[in-house]
Amino acid sequence: MKKTRVSQILGIEYPILQGGMLWLADAGLAAAVSNAGGLGVISPMAGMEAHGEPVNNLKDQIEKAKGLTKKPFGVNIPLDLRDSGLLMDLILTQKVQVVVTAAGDPRLYTELLQSQETKVLHVLSSVRHAKAAESAGVDAIIVEGVEAAARNGFDELPLFSLIPQVVDAVGIPVIAAGGIVDSRGVVAAMALGAEGVQLGTRFVVVKESIASQKYKDAIIAAKDTDTVITCRQLIPSRSLKTTEFTQALLALEEGGATADELRDFIGHAASRTGGLEGDLENGEAYCGSSAGLIHEILGAGEVVRRLVNGCREVIDSLA
Ligand SMILES: Cc1cc2nc3c(=O)[nH]c(=O)nc-3n(C[C@H](O)[C@H](O)[C@H](O)COP(=O)(O)O)c2cc1C
């Protein structure tokens, strides 16, 4: 796999990122990905109690990750989290190599973080937001297609259309996310002009992942048509539609529930209840639309190795 600007900027061997995952992306997972040559990313609430303290939790996770890997790793901060300012204060004292911001204005912390030698990546889903992130000075952007698990862009643009349009519109490196599970996805994204890839759902279903077994099994059982976007007008999110929770949410939406009613139903930690506790009746099971390609639980390092080693075969098959 060739070195790209993404691997150079992040100081990693392969331009493969494990996406931030709110309650799930902990130090153990991030370190396993980083040790395999990719970039592991920690989420502030990983493994935390539903009403825990994210700043302390993130501090513990960063310290733990530093003990588990000497390679670079990142931290994901959704900027709409209530504690995002306090989390940034912590990050500035912790010398984190990479921060991945999402769900907010990339101008907020980019300069400050970069003044501490931290590289800043921003997650987005349209050409307009890509241009804005470039103007904000971020080092690279993560462009998420509608295939992606969890929060989606309102315009629902598929990765295949989005990546080349963004690549043509900006000069900074582009990392593709959404529906990538194997080397075919990696080669396709790079052929479209991406210089790196980010995977979420594939890294839920690995040995090091703290996701519940029930959630992992549900992803493995999923086929192509088993995910759906809920709450399109509010917070569009892609989840497994095979769960009781999502069926009930869809029924509420079809019945014309108001935004407040939907918010009340989802509650504060539905993806924790589904993802960590495995309670798929009362909790959400975020899942990307390529779940049908995931058939087994592998080690996170093995996922990275297969992504890298499989590229040659895919490229040769095109020649
Ligand atoms: C359980 C779960 C939680 C996620 N939470 C976040 C998050 O907190 N912040 C974020 O930027 N992206 C989040 N994502 C999106 C991933 O970082 C990644 O971009 C996405 O999963 C890529 O699509 P894929 O799942 O098809 O590989 C989450 C994904 C999953 C599966």
Query: Given ligand 1 and candidates 22, 42, 87, 186, which is best to mutate, with the most ligand atoms within 8 Å of its CB?
Result: 22
Q: In whole numbers, what is the pLDDT of the chain averaged over residues?
A: 97
Q: How remote is the C-alpha of 247 from its chain's centroid?
A: 24
Query: Given ligand 1 and candidates 43, 201, 202, which is best to mutate, with the most ligand atoms within 8 Å of its CB?
Result: 201
- Residues 131-149, mean pLDDT to the nearest whole number: 98
Query: Each residue of 46-79: pLDDT tens digit?
Result: 999 999 999 999 999 999 999 999 999 999 999 9
The whole-number pLDDT of residue 233 equals: 87
Q: Indicate which atom in ligand 1 lies nearest the CA of residue 289.
A: 26
The whole-number pLDDT of residue 34 equals: 98
Full 3-state SS string of 245-286: HHHHHHHHHHCCCCHHHHHHHHCCCHHHHHHCCCCCCCCCCE
Among 55, 31, 56, smallest CA distance to 42 is for 31
- Closest protein CA for atom 21 of ligand 1: 200
Residues contacting ligand 1 via CB (< 6 Å): 19-22, 24, 43, 76, 78, 102, 123, 144, 147-150, 177-180, 198-202, 204, 275, 286, 288, 290
Is residue 244 within 8 A of residue 252, CB to CB? The reply is: no
Q: Indicate which atom in ligand 1 lies nearest the CA of residue 179.
A: 26
The whole-number pLDDT of residue 37 equals: 98
The whole-number pLDDT of residue 79 equals: 96
Q: Which residue has the tokens 């999923």?
A: 222
Spacing, Cα 253 to ligand 1 middle (Å)? 23
Find residue 73's DSSP bridge partners.
Answer: 40
Q: Indicate which atom in ligand 1 lies nearest the CA of residue 20.
A: 17
- Closest protein CA for atom 28 of ligand 1: 21
Find residue 230's DSSP bridge partners.
Answer: 237
Give the domains, in start order, of the chain with CATH numbers.
Answer: 5-210 (3.20.20.70)
- Residues 183-207, mean pLDDT to the nearest whole number: 98
The whole-number pLDDT of residue 108 equals: 95
Q: Indicate which atom in ligand 1 lies nearest the CA of residue 24.
A: 1
Q: Report d(CA 180, CA 288) in Å as an integer.
A: 9
Angle between helices 183-191 and 159-169 (to 10 degrees): 40
Question: Amino acid letter at 140?
Answer: A
The whole-number pLDDT of residue 188 equals: 98
The vertex-53 CA angle with 47 and 55, nearest 5°, equals 95
Q: Indicate which atom in ligand 1 lies nearest the CA of residue 144.
A: 19
| pLDDT exceeds cutoff 90 at 1 | no
Spacing, Cα 316 to ligand 1 middle (Å)? 31
The whole-number pLDDT of residue 318 equals: 93
- Closest protein CA for atom 17 of ligand 1: 19
Query: Each residue of 4-51: pLDDT tens digit?
Result: 999 999 999 999 999 999 999 999 999 999 999 999 999 999 999 999
Query: Each residue of 83-133: pLDDT tens digit?
Result: 999 999 999 999 899 999 999 999 999 999 999 999 999 999 999 999 999
Q: What's this model's pTM, rounded to 2 decimal places?
A: 0.97
Confidence band (pLDDT; 50, 70, 90) for 319? confident
Spacing, Cα 163 to ligand 1 middle (Å)? 18
Query: Each residue of 232-257: pLDDT tens digit?
Result: 989 999 999 999 999 999 999 999 99
Enumerate residues 6+ apart whose C-beta is below 8 A from 103.
78, 79, 80, 123, 151
Spacing, Cα 148 to ligand 1 middle (Å)? 7
Query: Given ligand 1 and candidates 39, 100, 151, which is best to mutate, with the most ligand atoms within 8 Å of its CB?
Result: 151
> In the chain, what percentage of residues exceed pLDDT 70?
100
